[in-house]
Structure 1
Amino acid sequence: MNSIDDLVQSLNSKQQAYVNLNLEDPENGEYLLGVFHLIPGGKMNILQAASEVAAESSTGTNFKVNTETAFSRTMNALVYKLDLDKNLVWIAYPWRLFDRGGNVQNILTYIVGNILGMKEISALKLLDVWFPPAMLEQYDGPSYTLDYMRQYLGVYDRPILGTIVKPKMGLTSAEYAEVCYDFWTGGGDFVKNDEPQANQDFCPYEKMVMHVKEAMDKAVRETGQKKVHSFNVSAADFDIMIQRCEMIRNAGFEPGSYAFLIDGITAGWMAVQTLRRRYPDVFIHYHRAGHGGFTRPENPIGFSVLVLSKFARLAGASGIHTGTAGVGKMKGTPEEDVVAAHGILYFKSKGHFFEQIWTKIMESDKDAVNIVNEDMSRHIILEDDSWRGVKKCCPIVSGGLNPVRLKPFIDVMGNVDFITTMGSGVHSHPEGTKAGAKALVQACDAYLKGIDIEEYAKDHNELAQSLEYFSKAKEGV
């Protein structure tokens, strides 16, 4: 293997302009920092390939051009660190490169845009990013948070218990609302559209909204408990998306009882940020359908779950799906999913490589230190001092969970600050959705009381049936 000095000597004059392995204090506030796993393609060594990535993702092109200026060169991204044993590359991006309108799409166009298609690389994955306080000032961050949803529901010290209506497609508007009603009257808090829900001929969107409102009103009257529904407003164009939002707002829902779900990968970051800016009083629910094409560990090109989740928080999503850490059916591990969940939930958290503090003021300021301490104590933060930092983004957990798996996931997650949206884990209950919701509530009660779930099930029939059903399902019976 070549030494660092040999690698530096191998650079041509163009590549040299994008490398500074002696960069003084990269965390001085001037740079967005990123760490990539990089394996070069063709005949280039890792530093040559990294310099080409830095060039392509900032000011450069494949050849040095005569139109450069002294100022334009100050906008060069810089490779500032290497780990040759692990094929890791650190790159510093002057954040003044990016659209000063707080445009997340613009950042990602730079740092995971054209570079993912470069022939100079055979593997390139952005594993972690770090945002300086001066950059955070330019971006929205969440407005309506998990704390506000907790206040609306009156639910504290446990997860928000939710479901995804199943089957994901094929129910009429009335049938869909019936499933919502059954879940809510069984004790559940939160129902969401599945990600493909739209304006199908068998389930007209406007009727679905109207019937959900009727079902919610009836469930609230009967249970005395507030409920929330998350509507997928992803659409073919901007105007239809906004029409759907306005349809929901004008349907008579109580503020706080609805969320706007957006398929952030397929609809795009502009859709996410449009919703955040148009509707700061609504929970913006980022569904990440399609993320696996970028984030799966075996995919050598793309970005990590942590990176996706951090940018969702930066953009202003109130919550984003972060995976079940291997407890459910989706691909994932605690090292990936829990790190991502903590990275968007806490004011200060350790990522794969960077410790991010979401402060807009000096990290050493006593008020910033106090916010970190308050957050660690699970107190509400940034309630009347939002200028001091970026608010939390809620992990949303779905994909193969059921009442039996609730406690195992909480143990892995290390806290109860998330929304769980169980689909078949609720609707496959032998006695139906309402009983499935009761089983979920009972499983949560068992956790809160510190009672073993099998012991608790002896006096709770719905939970006992759920345990028996999923035990047989696991055994393939």
Structure 2
Amino acid sequence: MIQEELSKTLNPKQVQYMRMDLPDPRNGEYLLAVFHLIPSGELNIMQAAAEVAAESSTGTNFAVKTETPFSRVMNALVYKVDIEKNLVWIAYPWRLFDRNGNVQNIMTYIAGNALGMKEIKALKLLDIWFPPSMLEQYDGPSYTLDDMRTYLNVHDRPILGTIIKPKMGLTSSEYAEVCYDFWVGGGDFVKNDEPQADQDFCPYDKMVKYVKMAMDKAVKETGKKKVHSFNVSSADFDTMIERCEMIREAGFEPGSYAFLIDGITAGWMAVQTLRRRYPDVFLHFHRAGHGGFTRPENPIGFSVLVLSKFARLAGASGIHTGTAGVGKMAGSPEEDVTAARNILKVEGKGHFFTQNWGRIPPQDDDAIKMVEMDDAHHVVLEDDSWRGLKKCCPIISGGLNPTLLEPFIDVMGGIDFITTMGAGCHAHPRGTRAGAMALVQACEAYKNKIDIADYAKDHRELAEAIEFFSKKKKK
């Protein structure tokens, strides 16, 4: 009844962006979005919702004389409102968007100017849904976690990684030495920290050269493959590509390197350029800056789930999804684990929508089988990738240490992720190599279903890690 009364307050322009009787929002014509919306000034929620739909699709603050019957077909449509919870559902005709699979273009619409409107006090994009007909236009990941597992021959545990610390200030040689120590300690994966670039004390070309030498030595000594993720984020397109080519020409074995891009600050164009130019390389999306949009207390922006879904759509092989409250970063299982599962699965339940990442109808027998195989932890979408978008890997960093590996696995509900512990390895009382060994031992304890305190009785490095991090926790 309240909704009907509020609908009567809409002006003729606003009415054009409302369709509370939209017969079938999931018919394949629309991208669906749910916003938390609090109006500003004198507008009620129905009026504000219509203004958001207008601003984020075809309209502006007034009706214009240049509209055509066809342009009105492209209007975004408010099709559901929860007045008590200040929630608004909007259907966007996906033909609005650049037909070349352009994620930047979608974000410019639905999380662009609308976030700056004075008619709203809060506007947070909480969840989105992509129809199969739209997924057809987008790349999705190419090189996946499964490909990295095959390269490393690691199938029964998380990929164990680190971020080099201190995050800045090491020379190229010092940086490579820390990589070597982690790798010979048993670690799999090393990444540049997200500000790593071409600093004068650590020239990029030397860093690449020395990391290659350190990796070769570590592989020879351990007999196991290793991976390094290089930050290729740059001031311009040409420099980004130069860095990629420098890495490829340095002699690294295919599979032993990843390209890290600071996706929020470098932009979606950089992400999709890398995906399209280098489909045989793991594309590592670091989300530095995301908190300005995603933190729950921020009233304007978008959720971790939305960011993660767009990363998969754009073709990222993996994206940082948070530690679900286990580590040092803000986050909760509801937010971070929901995001992680949505980018890992063929079908994932979000905050409001269940997203099926298949390009074929979900009721198709092969589509149903694909979901069942995925739930049973079989590799899917490898030899039939026309059927859907491949998985995107959660990358977990921010305050974890060997004592928190099992608690995080329990919260996550699985082992399909890359963990990148920084201080959790490098702060070990006997340094990086011992820190890597402690991480490996914590993982062994988990795999063997042994309490880490018991396992530590025969494993010095783990015992030292438990003592050290327990003391730090009490302070």
TM-score of the pair, normalised by structure 2: 1.00
Q: How does 1:275-424 map to 2 (within 5 A)?
A: 275-424=274-423
Secondary structure of the equivalent of 1:259? strand
Q: Does 1:194 align with 2:193?
A: yes
Give 1:321 deviation, angstroms. Answer: 0.1
Counterpart residue number, 1:105: 104
Matched, 1:474 2:473: yes
Aligned-pair CA distance for 1:149: 0.1
For residues 329 and 399 of structure 1, the distance between their equivalents in structure 2, rounded to whole angstroms, comes to 5
The one-character-per-residue Cα deviations of 1:151-199 (angstroms, maximum 9, x if unpaired) are 0000011000000000000000000000000000000000000000000
Distance in 2 of aligned mates of 1:257 and 1:215: 12
CA separation in 2, counterparts of 1:141 and 1:414?
24
Q: For residues 165-176 of structure 1, what are the structure 2 equivalents within 5 Å?
A: 165-176=164-175
- Once the two structures are superposed, the pairs formed by residues 178-327 of structure 1 within 5 Å of their partners are 178-327=177-326
Supply the distance in 2 between the matched residues of 1:222 and 1:42 (Cα, whole angstroms).
Answer: 67
1:97-153 per-residue CA deviation (whole Å, 9 max, x = no partner) reads 000000000000000000000000000000000000000000000000000000000
Structure 1 residue ranges without an equivalent (≥5)? none
Structure 2: any 5+ residue segments left out of the alignment? Answer: none
**AA paired with 2:253?**
E
Q: Which amino acid counterpart does residue 80 of structure 1 have in structure 2?
A: Y
Match of 1:58 in 2: 57
2:107 matches 1:142: no
**Matches of 2:63 and 2:195 in 1, distance apart?**
46
Match of 2:45 in 1: 46
Aligned counterparts of 1:52 and 1:229: Cα–Cα separation in 2: 47
Which amino acid in the other structure matches residue 225 of structure 1? Answer: K
Deviation string, structure 1 residues 255-309 (Cα, Å, up to 9, x no partner): 0000000000000000000000000000000000000000000000000000000
Partner secondary structure for residue 123 of structure 1: strand
| Secondary structure, counterpart of 2:458 in structure 1 | coil
Q: Distance in 1 between matches of 2:183 and 2:197?
A: 22
Q: Which runs of 4+ in 1 moved over 6 A?
A: none
Q: Aligned AA for 2:228?
A: H
Residue type at the aligned position of 2:125: L
Distance 2:156 2:416 in 1: 8
**Aligned residue number for residue 119 of structure 1:** 118
SS in structure 1 of the partner of residue 424 of structure 2: helix
SS at match of 1:236: coil
SS state of the match for residue 260, structure 1?
A: strand
Q: Distance in 1 between matches of 2:187 and 2:446?
A: 16
Percent identical across equivalent pairs?
77
Residues 224-253 of structure 1, C-alpha deviations (whole Å, 9 max, x = no match): 000000000000000000000000000000
- 1:44 corresponds to which letter in structure 2? L
Structure 1: distance between partners of 2:107 and 2:431: 44
Aligned counterpart, 2:130: 131
Q: By how many angstroms is 1:409 displaced?
A: 0.3
**Separation in structure 1 between the aligned mates of residue 346 and residue 361 of structure 2, nearest angstrom:** 14
Instruction: Give distance in 2, aligned partners of 1:6 and 1:392.
Output: 45
Q: What is the CA deviation profile of residues 58-82 of structure 1, one whole-angstrom value per residue up to 9, with x for unaligned ones? A: 0001100111111110000000001
Give, in whole Å, the separation in 2 of the partners of 1:75 and 1:278. Answer: 32
Give the Cα separation in 2 of the matches to 1:147 and 1:338. 19
User: Which SS does the other structure have where 1:44 is aligned?
Assistant: coil
How far residue 43 of structure 1 moved from its aligned partner, in angstroms, is: 0.2
Deviations 1:359-416 (A, max 9, x none): 1001100000011011111111011110000000000000000000000000000000
Q: Could you tell me which residue of structure 2 aligns to residue 20 of structure 1? A: 19
What's the counterpart of residue 91 of structure 1?
Answer: 90
SS of 1:458's partner is: helix
Query: Structure 1: how far apart are the matches of 2:153 and 2:293?
Result: 37
What letter is aligned with 2:413? G
Which amino acid is 1:474 matched to? K
Range with bigger deviation, 146-155 or 376-385 = 376-385
User: What is the alpha-carbon distance in structure 1 between the residues aligned to residue 153 and residue 391 of structure 2?
Assistant: 19
* Distance apart, 1:475 and its partner CA: 1.3
With normalisation by structure 1, the TM-score equals 0.99
**Code of the aligned partner of 2:391:** K
